[in-house]
């Protein structure tokens, strides 16, 4: 692989991945078995740099900022099929791999600010374009469930290649199957559990607590300091750091600091950060007819698609979502949800409350209460992004006739 810096960049197509990418860079979105930047770090054996949308620059760690003026291999952060990086590494300077209207990768002698606008809008400029076949995240369902099904297992196998893998000897764990089960030594197991590695590897990170009678089926990633509730069934999924998971979860991504603590079902879905899913909530992922599911009116080619839930959203007890629903960032759901929900919206049509705008200050207060419960300090940058998104999405709420003013329950 090349010695120059590897820079993951966002482009204009990122807008099609809302609400997942509303307030985080694509580099931090979970694809397959890891956050995107970690997938590339591991594949290329380097610490990748990031170029993100202007409003998200505060989210870029200092060590991830690119060195302008130096040579760079630029890689589209929406790239799912990272195996194509073997071809990208063979590019000469001023050459680019392109797929349709998207730049996949480009090599330049000196990274220049003036080039960023072309990069963002998919223009190759003076670069020599070389067509290729690559899988990009163009739609929400490309991320989940597609990447989960296609890449979770292989990503996890790569992540544990250098780790010591052994089947635990404790009587509280029954491990079955041919795939590796990597369980951190300080995982606290409170009673008998089954780790089923017949269909894929299982990775359980440090500090996790697993209550009795959990059934954990690979491919499966459980992030550090998670809590897995008694009698849970979790299969084919990615659970992020500090997740609190109960009930049934299948073929889904649950991002860091989110809760699904109680009984209920989450399937073929993507859950953002700082989300709470109340007791008895269910995401439908299949039509009665077993037919194709559409997302925002667009065909997916799939008959199993759940919900796409934006950061900071909350689902009340007993919330039911139809298949393929998009839940905007920082929205609150009640009852039956059968259509897309704009950001910062209290959605309660089925129980007679209608649609109300969620007070921005209430969103911030809730975040400030939730963060310390996970052992972290509220991030001023996160709050700034929430405030900007609230302003920028006013038209979406107006289009849906969301009522401004305080919801009064009669």
Contact 82, 37 (CB under 8 A): no
- Enter the tokens of residue 217: 């089926």
- The Cα-based distances of 93 to 36, 61, 69, 197 in angstroms read 25, 27, 14, 44
Contact 261, 229 (CB under 8 A): yes
Buried-state track 310-348, b at ≥16 Cβ within 10 A, e below 16: bbbbbbbeebbbbbbbbbbbbbbbbbebeebbbbbbbbb
Closest CA to 255 of 22, 4, 86: 22
Pick the CATH number of 143-399 from 3.40.710.10, 2.160.10.10, 3.50.50.60, 3.30.70.3280: 2.160.10.10
Dihedral over alpha carbons 194, 235, 154, 173 (to 10 degrees): -10
Between strands 354-357 and 345-348, the pairing is: antiparallel
Contact 94, 125 (CB under 8 A): no
Phi first, then psi, for residue 267 (nearest 5°) are -140, 140
Domain boundaries, the chain: 5-138, 143-399
- Enter the tokens of residue 161: 């290649």
Closest CA to 346 of 359, 357, 362, 360: 357
Residues composing the chain: 410
DSSP for 118-129? HHHTT--TTSEE
CB atoms within 10 A of CB 110: 12
Q: In angstroms, how far is CA 331 from the centroid of its own chain?
A: 17
Radius of gyration of the chain (CA): 21
User: What is the residue-level pLDDT of the chain in tens, covering all 410 positions?
Assistant: 446 899 999 999 999 999 999 999 999 999 999 999 999 999 999 999 999 999 999 999 999 999 999 999 999 999 999 999 988 888 999 999 999 989 999 999 999 988 888 888 888 888 999 999 999 999 999 999 999 999 999 999 999 886 655 555 577 999 999 999 999 989 999 999 999 999 999 999 999 999 999 999 999 999 999 999 999 999 999 999 999 999 999 999 999 999 999 999 999 999 999 999 999 999 999 999 999 999 999 999 999 999 999 999 999 999 999 999 999 999 999 999 999 999 999 999 999 999 999 999 999 999 999 999 999 999 999 999 999 999 999 999 999 999 998 887 76
Indicate whether this model's pTM tops 0.85.
yes
pLDDT for 118 equals 86
**CATH class of residue range 5-138:** alpha beta
DSSP for 354-385? EEEEPPHHHHHHHHHHHHHHTT-PPPHHHHHH
CB atoms within 10 A of CB 358: 25
Cβ-based neighbours of 170, under 8 Å, separated by 6 or more: 189
pLDDT for 124 equals 85
DSSP annotation of 263: S
- The CB-side HSE value for 267 (13 A sphere, CA atoms) comes to 17
| C-alpha to C-alpha distance for 244 and 161, rounded to whole angstroms | 27
pLDDT for 1 equals 42
pLDDT for 2 equals 45
């Amino acid at each position: 692989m090349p010695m120059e810096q590897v820079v993951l960049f966002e482009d204009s197509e990122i807008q099609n991945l809302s609400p997942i990418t509303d307030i985080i860079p694509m580099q931090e979105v979970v694809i397959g078995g890891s956050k995107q930047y970690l997938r590339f770090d591991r594949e290329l054996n380097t610490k990748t740099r990031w170029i993100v949308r202007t409003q998200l620059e505060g989210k870029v760690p200092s060590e991830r900022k690119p060195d302008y003026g130096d040579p760079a291999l630029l890689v589209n952060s929406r790239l799912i099929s990272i195996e194509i990086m073997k071809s990208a590494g063979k590019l000469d300077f001023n050459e680019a791999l392109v797929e349709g209207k998207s730049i996949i990768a480009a090599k330049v002698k000196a990274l220049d600010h003036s080039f960023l606008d072309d990069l963002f809008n998919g223009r190759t400029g003076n670069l020599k374009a070389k067509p290729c076949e690559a899988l990009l995240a163009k739609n929400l369902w490309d991320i989940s469930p597609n990447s989960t099904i296609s890449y979770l297992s292989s990503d996890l196998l790569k992540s544990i290649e250098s780790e010591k893998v052994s089947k635990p000897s404790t009587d509280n764990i029954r491990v079955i199957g041919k795939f590796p089960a990597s369980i951190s030594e300080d995982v606290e197991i409170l009673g008998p559990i089954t780790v089923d590695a017949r269909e894929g590897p299982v990775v359980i990170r440090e500090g996790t607590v697993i209550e009795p009678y959990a059934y954990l089926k690979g491919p499966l990633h459980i992030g550090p300091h998670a809590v897995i509730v008694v009698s849970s069934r979790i299969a084919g999924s990615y659970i992020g750091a500090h997740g609190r998971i109960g009930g049934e979860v299948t073929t889904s991504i649950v991002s860091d600091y989110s809760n699904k603590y109680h009984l209920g079902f989450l399937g073929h879905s993507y859950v953002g950060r700082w989300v709470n899913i109340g007791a008895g909530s269910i995401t439908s992922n299949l039509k009665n007819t077993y037919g194709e599911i559409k997302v925002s009116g667009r065909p997916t080619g799939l008959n199993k698609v759940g919900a796409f839930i934006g950061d900071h959203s909350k689902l009340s007890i007993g919330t039911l979502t139809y298949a393929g629903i998009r839940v905007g960032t920082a929205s609150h759901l009640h009852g039956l949800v059968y259509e897309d929900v704009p950001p910062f919206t209290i959605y309660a049509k089925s129980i007679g409350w209608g649609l109300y705008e969620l007070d921005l200050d209430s969103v911030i207060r809730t975040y400030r209460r939730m963060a310390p419960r996970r052992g972290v300090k509220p991030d001023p940058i996160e709050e700034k992004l929430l405030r900007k998104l609230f302003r920028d999405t006013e038209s979406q709420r107006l289009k849906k006739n969301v009522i401004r003013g305080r919801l009064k329950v009669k």
